[in-house]
Amino acid sequence: MSRTVVITGATGFIGGMLVKRLASTGWHIRALVRAASLGKRSKNVEPEWVTGDLGDRASLKRLVAGADAIVHCAGAVRGASQEDFDRINVGGVARLAQVAAAQNPKPRFLLLSSLAAREPHLSFYAASKQNGEKALVSHSGNMFWGVFRPPAVYGPGDREMLPLFQWMFRGIAPLIGSDQNRLSLLYVGDLADAIISWLDNGKKSQRVYELHDGHQSGYSWQEIIDIVECLNGKSVFRANIPVSFVKLAASVNLMASRIFGGSPMLTPGKVRELVHANWVADNDQLSSETGWVPKVLLAEGLRQTFGPEI
């Protein structure tokens, strides 16, 4: 009999890719979908859908009943206040972990956190991701769990990094912060494969893992621009935008969203994340434990994201 894995966030960027990749494995997939998002369900892959919400304990009980593993990808990546993020990234984790830990036998639980959890002082988002990890720890009892801390993830369907790459392919790189800053990246398909490796080979333990695309010590923005120039066959103009200007724009954007509603991406916290000097991750623990090796470096990832014509 096939084992059942529960996926949350399956209508999102990362969860959607995970469902697609899991479909060719032996796992039976059960996925949470919010009623308002039924239309976002993938047409090609048909998991067993459970309609519900992270705020609704009854739907979470139906979701996890009899599951062997849970991959919690649902999360808030935009918001105007700490409460906007905490409701989903902390409260949602706590509720799902409680319901999961009450199962007999208990499933294994993988939480998709973020490298941002390393620096909770930077933003509402970063704080909520670290507190989400703490919520998992405090509600899981002796349930086995893993926490993945991916760096910036990109690929088809991404809404965060893609606009920046699109500008670069048009010939302009709008950049803020120091030349010396370094960041790790991860192609979304490699992240999905890492999750599947954890499901298949991960130890029964309680552990936090960082991930990156195999490019040791991350990328500088100049290295990223060099890769885009090489793929595009033309030079990219580097437009250095003063941090003070971006901070001002972010403050206005945040204030406007508090007045008119909406979930802003550009906020003062996001700017602090963007100018942070070190977002370099380390793959060693995950690779040595599960055998997962990332396959897609940035040039190939951009080809897979934008198509062979670039």
Binding site for ligand NAP (CB under 6 A): 8-9, 11-15, 32, 34, 37, 40, 53-55, 73-77, 88, 92, 112, 114, 150, 152-153, 160
Quick one: which of 161, 198, 148 has its CA closest to 22?
Answer: 198
Task: Collect all residues with Cβ–Cβ distance below 8 Å to 102 and sequence separation of at least 6.
Answer: none
Residue 96 CB, shortest distance to ligand NAP, in Å, is 9
Complex with ligand NAP: residue 4 or 128, whichever CB lies closer? 128
CA distance 7 to 22: 10
Residue 137 CB, shortest distance to ligand NAP, in Å, is 17
Complex with ligand NAP: residue 112 or 298, whichever CB lies closer? 112
Helices (H) and strands (E) in the chain, counts: 12, 13
CA distance 257 to 251: 10
CA distances from 281 to 118, 149, 211, 261, 298 (A): 10, 9, 6, 35, 15
Residue 38 CB, shortest distance to ligand NAP, in Å, is 9
Between strands 69-72 and 4-8, the pairing is parallel
Residue 128 CB, shortest distance to ligand NAP, in Å, is 9
Residue 221 exposure: Cα atoms within 13 Å on the Cβ side: 24
CA distance 243 to 275: 8
Complex with ligand NAP: residue 68 or 158, whichever CB lies closer? 158
Quick one: which of 212, 193, 236, 192 has its CA closest to 151?
Answer: 212
Residue 152 CB, shortest distance to ligand NAP, in Å, is 5
Residue 129 CB, shortest distance to ligand NAP, in Å, is 6
Complex with ligand NAP: residue 44 or 142, whichever CB lies closer? 44
Residue 24 CB, shortest distance to ligand NAP, in Å, is 20
Complex with ligand NAP: residue 42 or 251, whichever CB lies closer? 42
Angle, alpha carbons 255-79-213 (nearest 5°): 130
| DSSP calls for 245-262 | HHHHHHHHHHHHHHHH--
Complex with ligand NAP: residue 36 or 230, whichever CB lies closer? 36
Residue 248 CB, shortest distance to ligand NAP, in Å, is 25
Would you tell me the crossing angle of helices 91-101 and 57-64 to the nearest 10 degrees? 50
Q: Kind and range of the H or E element at 228?
A: helix 221-232
